[in-house]
């Protein structure tokens, strides 16, 4: 029996369904998939169309706090907030549960967009019967939406994508080789805004070179781990976070402060989303191995080398082999990560021919200065999907959808012509 609760003018209903771990083996092992339905109180009895929201990631659960776009969405839709397989309440993958898998690396290969779409189709049948539904995909959720258009367009009424049009053909190495210059540009923007922070950041790295520093959990804070704070530069709401950290980095006696270390730990730890680290490169794989693509591409960008003695530059949305040594949450997953990085038989996620013939209305927001998703890759894909209309803007960063109702309102207008 679904659990329902009410607050803030909404009715929330929890749904859990059982799906195959491997959709190619429907009679085999199963997992659970959880989704939360949200409808405005005054529209509860109405027959509103369904809108499936696909969160960014990979490895991030559906939103728990009320997202800024929800009020706009619930004017027209009954919204479904999905915990994609392996996240939140959908049989989560963590260091505690991964050991329960019969063959961890083999099973983890089943947690990409293709199987997320297959789960969504079973959920749609459970909730909406044979009626197609609308999809809103943010970031990686947009990648999943393009896979949906490739695998099961008959289940779709319309698709809206924000900051999530993937390349249909780029290898993981291509993706990260294109990403590092964008991350450098965001570093320049950050240090232009806060020129005094360069000296503090350099001082932190020097201190970490000369001293063994532990985060609150006991694991080490190294220069390269400190550099990963740059992942925050791509979101408007978090762009200034590193500045606030550096503002209180040192105590009066020249040590790194507890406030600084606690807040750094909350950013650099993968405790809340280990699946993100395991699958981040694999979401780009179509046939080829990732082979630690971000780590390989880094050799072309010496600006990020913490040992070179120059001004510190923060890295972005990259996962490196050493993460599975230095982050205690990821250490038990190291063997699985190595096997995933070496795997060469990844199925294709996109069907270019089917996408070219697409008849489902699609609208996409492309953020001109997006740090995470390459603008040029997105524009090529926009031209390769039949019927897709796009809006390119420098008014928003990658998290434009979360800034209020404006982005979704425009996408709804666009997708309806």
Q: Give the domains, in start order, of the chain with CATH numbers.
A: 4-168+350-415 (3.40.50.1820), 172-342 (no CATH)
Which pLDDT score is estimated for 382? 98
Which pLDDT score is estimated for 303? 95
Give the span between the Cα atoms of 412 and 160, in whole angstroms: 7
Q: Which residues are catalytic?
A: 139, 370, 398
Which pLDDT score is estimated for 306? 87
CA distances from 49 to 16, 79, 152 (A): 20, 9, 18
Which pLDDT score is estimated for 310? 81
Tokens of 385: 């999907």
Residue pair 231/267 in contact (Cβ under 8 Å)? The answer is yes
Residue pair 315/230 in contact (Cβ under 8 Å)? The answer is yes
Residue pair 134/338 in contact (Cβ under 8 Å)? The answer is no
Residue pair 309/75 in contact (Cβ under 8 Å)? The answer is no
Which pLDDT score is estimated for 199? 97
* pLDDT mean by block of 10 residues, the chain; 417 residues: 90 98 95 98 91 97 96 97 97 84 89 98 97 98 98 98 98 98 98 98 96 95 98 97 98 94 97 95 96 97 89 97 96 95 97 98 98 98 98 97 97 95
């Amino acid at each position: 029996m679904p659990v329902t609760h009410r607050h803030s003018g909404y009715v929330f209903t929890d749904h859990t369904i059982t799906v195959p771990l491997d959709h190619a083996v429907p009679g085999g092992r199963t997992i659970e998939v959880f989704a939360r339905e949200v409808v405005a109180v005054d529209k509860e009895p109405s027959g509103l169309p369904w809108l499936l929201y696909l969160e960014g990631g990979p490895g991030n659960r559906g939103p728990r706090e009320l997202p800024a776009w929800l009020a706009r969405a619930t004017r027209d839709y009954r919204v479904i907030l999905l915990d994609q397989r392996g996240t939140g309440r959908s049989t989560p993958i963590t260091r505690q549960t991964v050991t329960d898998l019969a063959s961890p690396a083999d099973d983890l290969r089943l947690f990409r967009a293709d199987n997320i779409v297959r789960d969504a189709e079973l959920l749609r049948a459970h909730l909406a019967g044979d009626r197609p539904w609308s999809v809103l995909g943010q970031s990686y959720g947009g990648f999943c939406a393009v896979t949906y258009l490739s695998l099961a367009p008959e289940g779709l009424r319309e698709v809206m994508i924000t900051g999530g049009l993937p390349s249909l053909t780029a290898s993981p190495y291509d993706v990260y080789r294109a990403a590092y210059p964008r991350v450098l540009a965001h570093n320049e923007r950050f240090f232009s805004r806060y020129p005094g922070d360069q000296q503090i950041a350099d001082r932190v790295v020097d201190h970490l070179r000369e001293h063994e520093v532990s985060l609150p959990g006991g694991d080490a804070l190294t220069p390269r781990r400190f550099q990963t704070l740059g992942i925050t530069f791509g979101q408007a709401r978090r762009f200034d976070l590193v500045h606030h950290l550096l503002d209180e980095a040192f105590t009066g006696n020249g040590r790194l402060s507890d406030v600084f270390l606690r807040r750094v730990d909350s950013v650099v730890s993968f405790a809340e989303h280990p699946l993100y680290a395991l699958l981040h490169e694999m979401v780009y794989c179509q046939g080829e191995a990732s082979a630690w693509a971000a780590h390989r591409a880094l050799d072309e960008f010496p600006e990020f080398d913490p040992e070179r003695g120059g001004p510190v530059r923060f890295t972005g949305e990259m996962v490196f082999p050493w993460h599975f040594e230095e982050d205690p949450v990821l250490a038990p997953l190291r063997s699985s990560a190595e096997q995933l990085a070496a795997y060469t038989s990844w199925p294709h996620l996109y069907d270019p021919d089917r996408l070219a013939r697409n008849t489902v209305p699609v609208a996409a927001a492309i953020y001109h200065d997006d740090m995470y998703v390459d603008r040029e890759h997105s524009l090529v894909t926009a031209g390769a999907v039949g019927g897709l209309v796009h809006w390119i803007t420098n008014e928003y960063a990658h998290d434009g959808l979360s800034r209020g109702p404006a982005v979704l309102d425009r996408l709804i207008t666009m997708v309806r012509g």
